[in-house]
Structure 1
Amino acid sequence: MRKKKNESWPGFQIGTSYLLVIFVILCLVTFAVLSLSSALKDQSYTQKVADHQTAYASASAKASARLADIDTALQSETPYMALQEINDITITDENSEWLISYTIPMTDSQNLEVSILADPSDGSRRVVCWKEAAASQWTQRTTLPVLGSGASEN
């Protein structure tokens, strides 16, 4: 008997479909793990931003309250004496105006610094500086051994 040409083994076998299903499942698991990792990083970053915003809002409220105290002191009959009674402010005389500065701690590494230029003759003031600043100076502790940097080699 003669063999027909169409009776050969099929080109697509059952083992190939199982390998394709396993590959698809591995791809889905990989994408799920990457998505979860990305979501956890986003949550961590969002929490840090929320904590920073909360700390800034709290420090800003304290700075505004101190600014209200300064406004009250500037409107009094003896403004310099009234300003000296306010805690944690520094007063510097600059060309017939007073530079009033104070710092409000935000976190352990950041402060809110405020500077006000006040005119004692009419009791007016304007905010010169309202900014976040580092609580301490950064100091370099070590050097990195880079090729050609002049660092001694062992």
Structure 2
Amino acid sequence: MAKQENGYKANLGSPSLILIFIVMCLITFGMLSLSTAKSEHNLAERNASAVTEYYRADGEGEAFYQMVLKRAAKVREMSQDPQERKRLLSQEFGDAYEPDKGTVTVNIPMERSQALNIELVFPPEGKENIQISKWKVIQTEDYEIDHSMPVWTGGETKNQETGR
């Protein structure tokens, strides 16, 4: 009689495939996590750079504001006549002063084609406080949208019309 084998053979095919599949999934998720972490890190660095640049320009803006306050006080002491004050302010601030509007405007350059635009308004006669009219970041270069990539607009294409 033929010998009968008692016992079980270890079936390693299915568990090995499942283990390989699990390891591949873990590697894929790990790579995706690393990629996301790198993107988040780069975004955080760009954000920190933008904030640092804004506060640098803001500090320069504060220095400009203090300089305008001092020079305006000096002009007030020199003359009480409104026309004479406008002439003196034009001498003090040059092209930055607009006598018609009674404003002093400056653009403090920043990175990425931006500038901090500051506009200060001189008060009407009798008041001494200089008002801040604008204090905002503006784009200094025109932004052009890239239309070089053809995008489907929703209409039928030639292939749909001919059925190919």
Q: Which of the five TM-score ranges fits, normalised by the shorter chain?
A: 0.7 to 0.9
Pair 1:61–1:88, CA change in 2 (3 A): farther
With normalisation by structure 1, the TM-score equals 0.76
Distance 2:43 2:135 in 1: 25
Q: Tell me if the contact between 2:108 and 2:116 (Cα under 8 Å) persists in the aligned partners.
A: yes
Pair 1:145–1:108, CA change in 2 (3 A): closer
Distance 2:70 2:107 in 1: 19
With normalisation by structure 2, the TM-score equals 0.72
**Structure 1 residue 115 corresponds to structure 2 residue 115:** no
Percent identical: 25
Which of 47, 50, 60 does residue 49 from structure 1 map onto?
47
Structure that is richer in strand per residue? 1
Counterpart mapping for 1:5-154 below 5 A: 13-76=11-74, 77-78=77-78, 80=86, 81=88, 84-86=91-93, 89-94=96-101, 98-119=102-123, 121=125, 122-139=127-144, 145=150
1:110 partner letter: Q
Pair 1:83–1:43, CA change in 2 (3 A): farther
Q: Tell me if the contact between 2:93 and 2:104 (Cα under 8 Å) persists in the aligned partners.
A: no
Q: Which residue of 1 aligns with 2:162?
A: none
Q: CA deviation at 1:15?
A: 1.1
1:59 partner letter: A
Q: CA deviation at 1:8?
A: 10
Q: CA deviation at 1:30?
A: 0.5
**Which SS does the other structure have where 1:85 is aligned?**
helix
Pair 1:39–1:15, CA change in 2 (3 A): same
Which ranges in structure 1 are unaligned for 5 or more consecutive residues?
Answer: 2-6, 149-154
Q: CA deviation at 1:61?
A: 0.2
Q: Tell me if the contact between 1:105 and 1:112 (Cα under 8 Å) persists in the aligned partners.
A: yes
Number of residue pairs the alignment of both structures matches: 141
Q: Tell me if the contact between 1:111 and 1:134 (Cα under 8 Å) persists in the aligned partners.
A: yes
Q: Which residue of 1 aligns with 2:82?
A: none
1:31 partner letter: F
Structure that is richer in helix per residue? 2
Q: Tell me if the contact between 1:74 and 1:123 (Cα under 8 Å) persists in the aligned partners.
A: no
Q: CA deviation at 1:143?
A: 6.0
Pair 1:118–1:47, CA change in 2 (3 A): same
Q: CA deviation at 1:83?
A: 6.0
Which ranges in structure 2 are unaligned for 5 or more consecutive residues?
Answer: 79-84, 154-164
